Amino acid sequence: MSINELRAVLAGPTSYDRDRLLGKMLREARDLDVWRFVRPAEVALALDRLRPRIGRRYPFWRFLIDGWRADGLLAG
């Protein structure tokens, strides 16, 4: 899959393929790389839905999103 194809799927509406790719990205990619494709608000909205796909990285993402909400950087 090319970067442009990945961007196109991630920019689209919620779907099986979008959730699959976003979950894989949250599980495998560095957090700084994730922000090149999606906004923190998108991750926050999808986080609980994607929990089974994220696996052992879920606590990291939960900590990050909850911290940003507590600091007022992300609507909650």
pLDDT in tens, 2-55: 999 999 999 999 999 999 999 999 999 999 999 999 999 999 999 999 999 999
Dist CA 15 CA 10 (whole Å): 9
Structural domain contains residue 76: no
Structural domain contains residue 10: yes
Structural domain contains residue 24: yes
Number of domains in the chain: 1
Dist CA 23 CA 49 (whole Å): 9
**Among 50, 41, 44, which Cα is nearest to 21's?**
50
The band of 63, judged by pLDDT with boundaries at 50, 70 and 90, is: very high
Structural domain contains residue 75: no
Residue-level pLDDT at 55: 96
Structural domain contains residue 28: yes
Range of the domain at 64: 3-70
Dist CA 63 CA 47 (whole Å): 11
Structural domain contains residue 54: yes
Residue-level pLDDT at 58: 98
